Chain A
Amino acid sequence: MWRRTWIIYRKELIESLRDRRTLIAMLLVPLLLYPVLMIIIIQALQVEKGRRERDVYKIALPNEAHERWLRAILEADTEEEKSRASQTRPAGSIRPDITAQQFRIIVTHRALEDAVRGGDAAVAVQLDPPPGETLDANGENRQAIVYYDPAEYLSEVAFRAFARMLDRHRDRVVLDRLRRVGLTADTLSPLQIVERSVASPQKLGGALLGQILPFLLVVMTATGAIYPAIDLTAGERERGTLETLMVTPVPIAQIVAGKFLVVVTIAILSTLLNLASMGATIRFGGIGQAIAQSAPAAGQIEIPFRVLPIVLVVMVPFAVLFSAVMLAVCSFARTFKEAQNYMTPVIIAAMVPAMLVSYMPSIRLVGAWTVLPVANVVVLLRELFLEHYDVPAMLLAFTATTLYAATAVVIATRLYGQEAVLFSDVGSYKTLLRRRLFRPAPTPSVSTALFLVAVVFPLSFYWQTTFATPAMSAERLRFMTIVLMLACFLAPPIALAWYLKLDPRETFALRPPSSRAMLAAVLIAVAAPILALTLARAQQRLFPPSDEMIRALADQQTLMLELPIGSVLLTFAILPGLCEEVLFRGWLLAGLRNVLHPATRCIIVGLVFGLFHTDLYRILSTSLIGMLLAYVVTASGSLLPAIIIHAGHNGLALLVAKHEPFAHWMGVADDSPAWIVPAAAIVAVIGLALIRSARPPADSAPTA
């Protein structure tokens, strides 16, 4: 089956690589850009350095008394400079300070402000009180009023250097005064600060690169994919070859798969080339030293080359995501030009989060940042450069990106085959979104189903992390949960089902269950929490959670139980039972119905359900429960038993925490009878057998 995808892939890749424009974007730009950029930067720095060393800066003074005062300072500073140069000044510094010899004194009769404003001088100085005829300046304290123009670069530079020179002068005066009263410079430094950096040279390099590299990588990967994405869709249509491809006996999914893989390949190739070229330029081109010297932190800096392979792995799902989004967007375009116009917002959508994150160095890979599209990749890359390896959070970000990528791929496939998109004379793609024109369908398509889940996922996560505060009141937690359930899980699938004219009965499995199924639901609802809690205890023994995690879980539970028990059960058991079932076992399960084998479908629904709980520690148990519930709905043809099991499970788990006797009889207390767990297993098996034998109504037989 995938032979033809491979054929299409090979042909499209050959054709793309024969395209001068792709080659330029993919090969020439990265291979030339960085070295050239580097040469330009180094040259510019050299020129700037030379100018700094040669340039002369004028200082305007109001009269000769000021001139004598300043000349003495300049001479003293030049003397000091000579003795200092050999000791502390790093050789070959890019931004050398302006030396005293570079200042030229002019005496003006104009107002000093005007001298600076008019450009006659870079800075101007007035002493208050003015210096006398004799050089008595050491005796009394004065103010030096320095005029400069911060909007003029040279004036600003001269001012900084001049101010530093006056500082040195002040230090000399202070020393002199100390010496006169018989003291030394040590009097002024009772405490000396000695810096000791704990960062490794690689980490310092990583911190520097982490500021800019993730942004560059994201933009480069996105731009690398643009050209083939347009060429393989809109370009093909414009040249009239699309029809010849579509009349061949190859399913559309395989055609799109072939093209999509080419876009991904080129995106990754271009990332790879960019990385290699950038790495080589930094390593051999001398920019490493340049960065090192401009770095604020003390110490040696090394570029952490060993994280680059991991960076590449992280970039793969990102490249997949962007390739799919671009393919989907380009599928709308009829011409190359039109597609290019559509690309602009996509690129901006990639750049803005990347840029924002780059500007906010305090952001870590926690909470919503792990699941926000694009932003999570940028944060993850930065964490890699900083050698912060929070593996579960990284896996979560990786998985979330993969989920978005998969959704984008499915949508791209679906759009590509649309008649309105294939042939311009068949109508506009605008008709694709008009509700009045929709034909009623029993269930959502796999692309719409996944699309909604991919939208709800970051949304729900974002809501929880932004609304939750460390010291949250029970009422706040309740409010957060109610909004999450109703606005994130319940309303979106119902609204979309209405908009798409889907059959609610089929989409949300709204059939009366058989009495056997109901009995089974009650049995499983009682047995499931016993087994789940036992599983959780076993897991805790095998992989003990951190104390912090135990405390967080306990805190949340204590918090919940502060509320009246009726409210607790309603908010944390019945509501999730209803809303989560509608989304996962209703909407998502129905969407996967026509494309997947029932077993695969249950496993996927379970895994997505587990992922939504974004708690890697509990992902095993939540996924298993998700799979069980999906099986119950598939076998019984009704959502109600799943709602009962879900609500029952949550409710019993809460009661266990609330009441001691419950813990005893649910098998989790230390004195629980040993027979409870096997008994629960037997009850669960009986329940499942009952469900299996309770045949679903004839019309709901899944069409696999």
Chain B
Amino acid sequence: MVDVRNLVKVFPTTEGGEKRAVDDVTFHVGRGEIFGLLGPNGAGKTTTLRILSGLISATSGSVRIAGHDVRADRDAAKRAIGYLTASTGLYQRLTPRELLTYFGHLHGLDPADIRGRIDELVDWLDMHEFENLRCGGLSTGQKQRTSIARALIADPPVLILDEPTLGLDVITNRLILEFIRAEGARGKTILLSTHYLDEAETICQRFGLLHEGRLIASDTLDRLQAASGQRRLSDIFLALCGESGPVLVDAAAGPPGGRA
């Protein structure tokens, strides 16, 4: 369903140098799988997912989503994707229903279908009481529900979720995790990035471990445990990336003066 081969992304830096944010990454996610892309901040998770969603283009390598090449057939690939992050916003001066209608139109859906699909999502996500209020006045939980509905409006086979729970409160966090499980159960292919490894353990079936732009492992939890001799995902990560430096800094919130 999602096929990534030899993906490379090089950014020019302001100082005049180059940064290899993604370095020769290859993985495959099958239909109905929940795949967790894990790693510390700056490992290249977000960049990888943005390339997959067609937001930025790769320096080299190829990405196929539901059989469509992201570079050659960007719009067809985008049609197969639902994209959500914890920071994606809503149009403050539209109501959830207007917002969903707008995105339904942008996905090229039929007006009649859009109405039916919104009714479905409003039922499923329990949005009745606020579907006709302006988004600007909604609570965090209501906003996240609207965002989820936005990502699902075209019922895409692939969901790309970049740090979907980053900075959310407990209740909203729970809402997102339930939504991921439910969509996984409905047969969606889900790509998820997070640096909360414990959370990933509970919902993902396979894991890709990213470190400094490189994919250092990509497998199920059982096999990763077997390969590393560790039980917990965070220990596995430390064991596999060999050098514990940057991960320690991240985990221990940084020694004095040590955080860049």
Q: Which residues of A pack against B, CB within 8 Å?
A: 4, 7-8, 11, 14-15, 18-19, 239-241, 243-251, 419, 422-423, 425-428, 430-431, 434, 436-437
Contacts and interface: CB of A to CB of B under 8 A. Distances in A.
Interface in B85-121: 85, 87-94, 98, 102-103, 105-108
A274 to B, nearest CB: 24
B137 to A, nearest CB: 13
A414 to B, nearest CB: 14
A19 B91 contact: no
A248 to B, nearest CB: 4
A498 to B, nearest CB: 19
Contact of B78 (A8, A249, A419, A430): A249
B44 to A, nearest CB: 12
A18 B12 contact: no
Nearest to A241: B89
A423 B50 contact: yes
B50 A15 contact: no
What 5 pairs across the A-B complex have the smallest Cβ distances? A240-B89, A249-B75, A249-B78, A248-B106, A247-B83
A18 B76 CA distance: 33
Most B Cβ at <10 Å: residue of A8, A241, A249, A425: A249
A461 B150 CA distance: 52
A434 B75 contact: no
Nearest to B105: A7
Given A241-B89, A241-B90, A434 B105 contact: no
B73 to A, nearest CB: 10
Contact of A248 (B12, B46, B78, B87): B78
Nearest to B150: A244
Which secondary structure characterizes the binding site on chain A?
helix
Nearest to A255: B106
29 contacts: A4-B106, A7-B102, A11-B94, A11-B102, A15-B91, A15-B94, A18-B93, A239-B91, A241-B91, A243-B85, A244-B88, A244-B89, A244-B150, A246-B54, A247-B53, A247-B55, A247-B78, A248-B107, A249-B75, A249-B107, A251-B75, A419-B57, A423-B56, A426-B47, A427-B14, A431-B14, A434-B12, A434-B16, A436-B16
Interface of B: 11-14, 16, 46-47, 50, 53-57, 74-76, 78-79, 81, 83, 85, 87-94, 98, 102-103, 105-108, 147, 150
Contacts of A430: 14
Contacts of B90: 239, 241
Contact of B14 (A246, A248, A251, A428): A428
B83 A244 contact: yes
A250 B93 contact: no
Contact of B88 (A243, A426, A427, A436): A243
A250 B106 contact: yes
B108 A249 contact: yes
Nearest to B102: A11
A250 B50 CA distance: 16
B94 A427 contact: no
A597 B57 CA distance: 26
B88 A241 contact: yes
Contact of A427 (B11, B85, B103): B11
B47 to A, nearest CB: 8
Most A Cβ at <10 Å: residue of B46, B54, B102: B102
Contact of A15 (B11, B74, B83, B93): B93
B83 A243 contact: yes
Contacts of A426: 11, 47, 56
B89 A4 contact: no
A252 to B, nearest CB: 10
Contacts of B108: 4, 249
A8 to B, nearest CB: 8
Nearest to A20: B93
B39 to A, nearest CB: 15
B8 to A, nearest CB: 14
A239 B92 contact: yes
Nearest to A240: B89
A234 B120 CA distance: 33
A348 to B, nearest CB: 27
Nearest to A4: B106
Nearest to A438: B12
A24 to B, nearest CB: 15
A19 B92 CA distance: 10
Most A Cβ at <10 Å: residue of B16, B46, B50: B50
Contacts of A431: 12-14
Given A4-B106, A249-B107, A427 B12 contact: yes
B103 A19 contact: no
Contacts of B85: 243
B96 to A, nearest CB: 13
B229 to A, nearest CB: 36
A240 B88 contact: yes
B53 A4 contact: no
Given A249-B75, A427-B12, A430-B14, A244 B56 contact: no
A551 B32 CA distance: 82
B42 to A, nearest CB: 9
Nearest to B89: A240
Contacts of B150: 244
A419 B107 CA distance: 22
B55 A422 contact: yes
Most B Cβ at <10 Å: residue of A250, A426, A434, A437: A426
Nearest to A16: B93
Contacts of B14: 427-428, 430-431
B162 to A, nearest CB: 9
Nearest to B42: A425
B94 A437 contact: no
Most A Cβ at <10 Å: residue of B11, B50, B106: B106
Contact of A4 (B88, B93, B98, B105): B105
A4 B87 CA distance: 25
A15 B91 CA distance: 8
Contacts of A7: 102, 105-106
Contact of A249 (B13, B56, B79, B91): B79
Contacts of B93: 14-15, 18-19
Contacts of A8: 106
